[in-house]
């Protein structure tokens, strides 16, 4: 994994994290007293939130706050965890294409951009489900995860992946939790496709949105009002889109110390160059 992987994985339980830590070569770090966290040098983060909707929402909020200074770059968010289904075989797994919150009755539909991964419905319940009335994976975090993570990223990059750990023949009360890491490890081919593809989309998005370094340079050198900052941001984007990033540096060389003057100079120059 050479490329940066701007992906946040959130799991509810330490046993769900165990296989992922090994699979993704993550190391534990001790940034938080509330959550167990892992990461690697490729920007991949894994957080153990605790069980239930409140816990996972808090975990997502915590991670997003940690990453708030990433120059506006977005990250993909993936919830991985175990779930129950009435008749799906143990160890089968899918990406949620419909997430229904049982208590509110509302559904969310994560946009599906990734091929090669099984898909299916997910129902989030407040208490463990024993009868599994719908053809869906029953679990306890997905709806809250999706609602919270889409506040910090685009919906296409927020996904949930559920591995079946219990069914009518193997009820939730009899789960052997020692099998959880193995069930998740068995899904490594699908998970690696998913994580790689999500991170590729996030990387491309961030690359398209990347601002020239000049923008940050000027922001650190000259006082700009909020409106001026927006104007400068757009000007920098326009120079970049026209392949004129180097021109920005030349204007900087003129040492325009006044923000209004600088914006005016940049505007006049690019309008002159690009007008048909």
Partner 1 sequence: MFSTIYIEEEVLESERVRKLLDRFPQIPQVVCDRYGEVFNRKSQNFRLQKIAPALILAKKYGNKVLAAPSGYGYNDSKSYYFSHMLNCVYDCRYCFLQGMYSSANYVLFINYEDFEKAIVEKIEENNGGGVYYSGYDCDSLALEPVSNFCSHFLPVFRRYPNAELEIRTKSTQVRCLLDTEVVPNCVIAMSFTTSEAAVQWEHKVPSIGKRLEALHKLQLAGWKVAIRFEPLILGAEGLAPYEALFAQIFSKLDGDRLHSVSSGLFRMPVDFHKRIVKLYPDEELFARPTQTTDGMIALKSTEENTHLMAIEELLLNYISSEKYYRCA
Residues that bind partner 1 (CB under 8 A): 97-98, 107-109, 111-115, 119, 121, 150-151, 153-157, 201, 205, 208-209, 234, 237-242, 270-271, 274-276
Indicate the residue among 113 and 168 with the shorter CB distance to partner 1: 113
Cβ 65 to partner 1 shortest distance, Å: 18
Cβ 119 to partner 1 shortest distance, Å: 5
Indicate the residue among 38 and 239 with the shorter CB distance to partner 1: 239
Indicate the residue among 23 and 244 with the shorter CB distance to partner 1: 244
Cβ 209 to partner 1 shortest distance, Å: 6
Cβ 1 to partner 1 shortest distance, Å: 21
Which residues, at least 6 apart from 196, have a Cβ–Cβ distance to it below 8 Å? 1, 5
Which residues, at least 6 apart from 199, have a Cβ–Cβ distance to it below 8 Å? 3, 4, 5, 6, 7, 44, 76
CA neighbor of 59 nearest in space, from 78, 72, 85, 83: 78
Cβ 47 to partner 1 shortest distance, Å: 21
The per-residue DSSP string of 247-263 comes to: HHHHHHHTT--SHHHHH
Indicate the residue among 18 and 238 with the shorter CB distance to partner 1: 238
Residue 8 phi, psi (nearest 5) = -105, 120
Indicate the residue among 243 and 253 with the shorter CB distance to partner 1: 243
Tell me the C-alpha distance between 31 and 21, whole Å.
17
């Amino acid at each position: 994994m050479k490329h940066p992987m701007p992906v946040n994985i959130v799991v509810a339980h330490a046993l769900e994290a165990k296989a992922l830590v090994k699979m993704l070569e993550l190391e534990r770090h001790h940034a938080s007293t509330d959550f167990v966290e892992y990461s690697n040098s490729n920007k991949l983060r894994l957080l153990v939130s605790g069980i239930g909707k409140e816990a996972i929402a808090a975990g997502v909020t915590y991670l997003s706050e940690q990453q708030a200074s990433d120059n506006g770059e977005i990250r993909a968010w993936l919830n991985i965890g175990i779930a129950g289904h009435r008749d799906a075989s143990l160890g089968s797994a899918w990406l949620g294409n419909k997430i229904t919150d049982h208590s509110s009755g509302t559904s969310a539909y994560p946009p599906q951009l990734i091929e090669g991964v099984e898909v299916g419905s997910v129902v989030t319940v407040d208490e463990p489900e024993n009868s599994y009335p719908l053809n869906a994976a029953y679990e306890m975090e997905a709806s809250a995860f999706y609602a919270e993570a889409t506040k910090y990223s685009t919906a296409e990059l927020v996904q949930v992946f559920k591995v079946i750990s219990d069914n009518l023949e193997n009820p939730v009360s009899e789960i052997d939790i020692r099998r959880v890491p193995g069930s998740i490890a068995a899904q490594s081919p699908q998970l690696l496709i998913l994580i790689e593809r999500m991170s590729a989309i996030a990387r491309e998005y961030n690359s398209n949105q990347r601002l020239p370094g000049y923008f940050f340079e000027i922001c650190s050198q000259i006082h700009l009002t909020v409106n001026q900052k927006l104007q400068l941001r757009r000007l920098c984007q326009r120079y970049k889109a026209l392949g004129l990033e180097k021109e920005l540096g030349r204007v900087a060389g003129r040492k325009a110390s006044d923000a209004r003057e600088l914006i005016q100079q940049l505007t006049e120059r690019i309008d002159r160059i690009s007008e048909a």
